[in-house]
Structure 1
Amino acid sequence: MITKKRYLTSIINKYPMIITFIILIVIILLINKGKKEPAVKTTPLLLKPLLTEHIHYYNNLTEADKTIFEQRIQTFLDDVRIEGVGLELTDTDRIMVAASAVIPIFGFKDWTYRNITNVLLYPDTFNKDFEFEGNEGEGRSIMGMVGSGYMNGQMILSRAALTKGFSKNSGKENTGIHEFVHLLDKADGATDGIPEGFLGNEYVEPWVKMMHQEIFKINKGRSDIDIYAATNEAEFFAVVSEYFFSKPDQFQTKHPELYEMLSRVFGQDPSTK
């Protein structure tokens, strides 16, 4: 008669590898059972009230879209370093920079910027040598800049211009959105005012034609679009994008064809929000 003890011993001797494997699995399961579930990343406590207070675009979203917007703001803040230069950075500064980034790409599901790692926030305007101190007459007129060369992957923004862009008196201008639209434009390899990655091939030629027609009107003083848009095609795209997101109803009324084209580019129709 074989006892239970002898029977188990014979099984272990006969199938040592299998028994060892089973024991390891049991040990792993017991260890994992004792572990706490990883904490779920939550939205920072002040994110929602800061967005509500400062970002008009956010307030016009549905509740479902607000949640998505908050998540994408947090993703940007996790991925991109924002630094203050000559100033003490605040949560409001961070929210405005992140909103500037998210607004233009909100119509693109899961799209993120791959051409930026840092945003440097200056107190005010600066010059081509990145100096923000000195006399006003020393060329300190730049409000924002996307870096190139050794500054590639970085952006510089004037806090004064950034804040004004999200104020009630912003008008048609938003420096933050302007600079992030340059990054979108640059995503296809060329900052040329033609967002080929976001515009179907059949619309590229009509878009270029619209740009040149409107630039001609701007130079003749027959357009309400800021004169800076006539600098070149890249600046035209960035300037009209500011207008599109800042005053969508007005832009649609005065420039219906441009509005329709930008709606295609950004996958958004902000006038209906």
Structure 2
Amino acid sequence: MYILFAFLLIILIGFFLLRKKKNEIESDETNIETYRSLLNDRVDYYQKLNEQEKLRFEKCVLDFLQYVNIEGVGTTITDSDRVLIASSAIITVFGFGDWKYKNLTNVILYPDTFDNDFSFEGENRNILGMVGSGFMNGQMLLARAALEKGFSSLSGKGNTAIHEFVHLLDKSDGATDGIIENLITREYVIPWLKMMHKEMHRIQTGKSDINPYALTSEAEFLAVAAEYFFEKPEQLKHKHPEIYEQLCNLFRQDPA
């Protein structure tokens, strides 16, 4: 009797597990059709991939949305928000296989710019995005207006979300310093630093088209240069071939 009961219980558990798996697969298939349409409409990087790479990109987007929670403050999260945030994350690490952001649990989306107190109302709201630290560790904050602009024809050489994900990548070795030591080989560290400081001097003297915000620190130089690399790769390669080559080595991609 007990053996029969145990056998029936195993069958019942198996049935529910299979049903749950089937529902998850159907949900993924429904989501990917929606996401694929948005990727084709909104993400230039995705559009330039071959068919095999597109499938891998789509899988990476689904995986990212499984382990990172996206929530809105003063706004409701849409599928477009999810796709653009996930795409920003995946573009940055697409050269690293199945990379996962172990230092990220939540992305918090604000409707517009916010201030140091995380308020999106009133004056002095000039923050487009940030990676949290201290009690905000593991969090990323983004302004929807900046997220949208980064994937529009008005983006130019900038993309705030990519900028912030590069900071997260930089932070993955324990220090946000413009050198991703767990990804860059030792032979490239000194040339990268020399080239970085040389270009920072050119920015200071008005001889570079790189955003002057890159002068803030080595970490900001990396994030700003990465925006340029992913948004206008052909232009960066033409105007700054040395920087382009270094970033190709760092991100293991050649987008131009």
Q: What is the TM-score when the length of structure 2 is the normalising length? A: 0.91
Q: 2:68 aligns with which of 56, 74, 80?
A: 80
Q: Given the alignment, which residue of 233, 248, 251 partners 2:218?
A: 233
Measure how far apart 1:183 and its partner are. 0.3
**In 1, Cα distance between equivalents of 2:224 and 2:159:** 9
Structure exhibiting the larger radius of gyration computed from Cα positions: 1
Higher mean C-alpha displacement, 76-85 vs 39-48: 39-48
SS at match of 1:74: helix
Q: Secondary structure in 1 aligned to 2:174? A: coil
Shift of 1:62: 0.4
SS at match of 2:182: helix
Deviation, 1:94, is: 0.9
Residue in structure 1 matched with residue 246 of structure 2 by the alignment: 261
Return the offset for 1:129.
1.4
1:175 to partner: Cα distance = 0.2
Instruction: Choose the corresponding residue for 2:175, options 163, 166, 190.
Output: 190
Q: Deviations over 1:217-262 (max 9, x none)?
A: 1011100000000111000000000000000000000111110110
Q: Distance in 1 between matches of 2:130 and 2:163?
A: 9
> Which residues in structure 2 correspond to 1:117-136 (within 5 Å)?
117-135=105-123
Amino acid at match of 1:103: I
Per-residue deviation, 1:123: 1.0
CA distance in 2, matches of 1:262, 1:60: 19
CA distance in 2, matches of 1:177, 1:195: 16
Q: Which amino acid aligns with 2:42?
A: H
The two structures have a TM-score, normalised by structure 1, of 0.85
RMSD over aligned CA atoms reads 2.0
Question: Does 1:214 find its partner at 2:214?
Answer: no
1:93-128 deviation per Cα after TM superposition (whole angstroms, max 9, x unaligned): 111111110101001111100001001101111111
Match of 1:166 in 2: 151
**CA–CA distance in 2 between the matches of 1:93 and 1:233?**
29
1:96 aligned to 2:81? no
Q: Which amino acid aligns with 1:223?
A: S
Distance in structure 2 (CA, Å) of the matches to 1:220 and 1:84: 41
Which stretch of structure 1 is more off in the superposition, 81-90 or 233-242? 81-90
Cα deviation digits, residues 120-176 of structure 1 (max 9, x gap): 1011111111111003xx2x1110000000000001001000100000121000000
Report the AA paired with residue 207 of structure 1.
Answer: W
Q: Which residue of 2 aligns with 1:144?
A: 129
Uncovered stretches (5+) of structure 1, i.e. residues with no partner: 1-22
Query: Structure 1: how far apart are the matches of 2:162 and 2:62?
Result: 17
In 2, distance between residues paired with 1:59 and 1:210? 31
Distance 2:89 2:131 in 1: 13
Give the match for residue 47 of structure 1.
35
Report the residue type matching 1:158 in the other structure.
A
Structure 2 gaps, min length 5: none
* Matching residue within 184, 188, 206 for 1:199: 184
Secondary structure at the aligned position of 1:106 is classed as: helix
Q: Displacement, 1:31?
A: 3.6
Question: Within the alignment, does 1:107 sit opposite 2:95 as a pair?
Answer: yes
| Counterpart residue identity of residue 232, structure 1 | S
Count, aligned residues: 245
